[in-house]
Chains A and B, each alone.
Chain A
């Protein structure tokens, strides 16, 4: 789960990580009041969306004139921001953060995530703050430093010193070495206590008055651990999520919307991805990823159908079930019931394999439904692509 910058900064404050004075304001009147209270030399108005690259897209505005703050905010609310992370459709700005500006002497980069290979939390730091760390890593890999933390003992002083000295902080500003090490410890505490999967501060700035401040903040959380943290769950902003994905989650389905025309319903994540891939190989594009789970039932199949049919791009449905513990004849019953209930008019290809597959196929063939039945994966993919036509992605078609 992702959260907004202003929420990340609230969390930072709770863990004694210094941030600029700022808060989310709901309307221009509140913005005016808050700006007066801030009484800062520079004001920053920042669009809050779950995507990076806001600055270049006009989502961050600075002004020295307090009277301009409400106007800037008004301009930003409701605006569509198109960044490299939002896709061409862009993302509507619904929330705005207003904070004091900082005099920047130096921008650093700092993040913390789990390294899969070693299984340890690793700090990533660089003196090249304010840029995309992937860019820095690609062009000047020697400027990207790492420090792994032993989870048995947690963050230690030497971890902090290793980074501080390798970054050359004493030469930059000796007085911030100790605050920097303390900040690392606090960040580690936040990461572990709140089950974050990524914490990123870019930039972490040394101000002209020699303070260390998290000027931006990005925090992602481990979905598997959300049950432990009601406070983190409260940060969830459904406006930043795809409505069909929210509905799928309510039905315990794993759904990711894509841009193609063939709706897929599959049991198991790996097979679901492979099914999407095979659709592409057959000459079309998948409309979604949908995993109904290893233990698919009649109910999950019906729920899956409803979600697929709500996507207007879907021109045909491909159901691919490998019956293991799941018995195919049950899935067949689910398909038949769902098809009657929602009156499916689109072409459907069902491929059943594994436990009781033959029985399931027979049920479907005798159901009177307009359902194509298949045994082999490639055969099934070719069938659905044949009946829906070799459709291109919408974006390509428009180009």
Chain B
């Protein structure tokens, strides 16, 4: 187990290094000059000398390999650098924003699992019936409605018409816990909508598969109650692939909640990443991507470990 984790961690470091390098190179390949952008805000013509001054100050005139070496050197010492835009510490910004994004993802995953697993199980148990059709229909609709449409409708109905919730935004938990949770529900609920559908579909397929297994027949032959069979022998076993998918989906969501954050004005990591890319703020982009990829790799490891715990047949060895 420990050896496995060590092996995977080594692989992770390698993976993250490749990702960081890739992003660094791609960023320099992408058109757009951070200094020029910063100084031509508001569609004004930037003074070429001022741009040159800023480029020099930001170290953008150094050869690419030197910039790369600087950057990697910084990353190795745990220094993610400072923003090109206002000199803010990238580490500080990530520390501030990452928990907000994780909060949305975790809340969404919980909601999605709480709704998706029973729905998927029900659809499988009643496969072919009207309830299965209904769940299949609802999940398709949920999967096919873009979050920005859901978001706009939610805001229109709940904030503008019914005035039940604020029109998006963020309040720290320490300041106002109730309002914080209320505001959290908007993006989390919207993310959960699509995630719910994925989980429900996955659960349905998985439960249908497990229902056909011999051990379920054994459980029936033992005279166990329906609930017990469902819980211990069907859902328990069916959850292994579902959890894997949920883990992967959560991984994708780190840095993938851009639209939701935009629509609900939730100041998370994804929105930060997009604004950094828009401004070609290289240290910010590389720093955020590095953190996201580390988290992603870590989450994968956790998924693997959890699967191994759930399914003793999987052994964590290489």
Question: Does B associate with A?
Answer: no
Interface residues of B (CB under 8 A from A): none
Interface residues of A (CB under 8 A from B): none
